[in-house]
Amino acid sequence: MLQVVGQGADSMNTILSSDRVLIVRNSDAERRLELLKDALAADGIVPYLGPGLLRLSCAEPTVPHTPEAVAAALNMRATAPRKIRTNMWSVAQFIEQRRHRRTLQTWMAEIFAAPVVPTVLHAWLATLPLSLIIDSWYDATMRSALAKTGRTDVVEIQGVTRANQFGDIWTKTYDLSGKEIEHGSEEKTVLYTPHGSVRPAANFLVSDSDYVEVLTEIDIQTPIPEVVKDRRTNRGLFFVGCRFDDQMLRTFARQIMKRSNGPRSAVIDAATLTKNEHRFLTESAITLIDMPTGEAAARLVG
């Protein structure tokens, strides 16, 4: 059962499901996007980008745009047992154990080697005075969009695997030329890629073992950079191109938005929500904008 919220002609545009997921559609969704557009321009909200954005440029992106597609690409190089074959993290772990970490990293770099042309949404976001942008995929498209502006006030902080590290290192910081730099907090914009990125150094958190220590510590926020914690504090989050149908994705999103203040919204087709996604949106107080991602992106940029 769905409970109608509001009155008049627009009342059917906003619904509250029986377990409290706020869903906006039609004219209410359009108004919500206008508010989000203003908030982004005013640096009042943090965009949290997912691989679904890759399909805005073409129906078949040049790199995988789902964890299942990454698993399939890895299986083409080393066939994993059938019971784990569609799970990216488990397939990566299988390769790491059987072929060595260096092989896994090389194959992931090959899989994501093709450059992706930034969408109009990436390009627009790159021009805004945003304090923080979160990119949850490996393709480096947001990085490319920022680099094309010629801006020099941006740094990228990437999550890194502990497999190749000595000491308490969770992230590495790069400027847009690809040079590794000391972690700073003076830059106007921080691009945070918590799972790593193919560029500039092929850092990937992808196997089960990559996440063991991260997930052990993430509840107390240790792996999350201080500058990210600071900049999320007085801002909400806007999820676009993201799905939360895997526990790993939900865990990271939940911990990154932890202690953030402000509204939370996500563009997702409501008809495709899984039960776990429904529960996650409810628990995280995320308003669901029921609109195709491409249409939402066009409204934000237009």
Which among 151, 219, 241 is positioned nearest to 190, based on CA atoms?
Answer: 151
Read off the pTM. Answer: 0.93
pLDDT, position 13: 67
Average pLDDT of the chain is 91
The pLDDT tens digits for 192-207 are 999 999 999 999 999 9
Angle at CA of residue 182, ends 181 and 185, nearest 5°: 110
- C-beta of residue 23 within 8 angstroms of C-beta of residue 15: yes
pLDDT, position 58: 78
Evaluate if residue 150 carries a pLDDT over 60: yes
Domains in the chain: boundaries: 1-42+263-302, 43-262
The pLDDT tens digits for 120-146 are 999 999 999 999 999 999 999 999 999
Q: Return the C-alpha torsion angle 275, 249, 59, 68, nearest 10.
A: -90
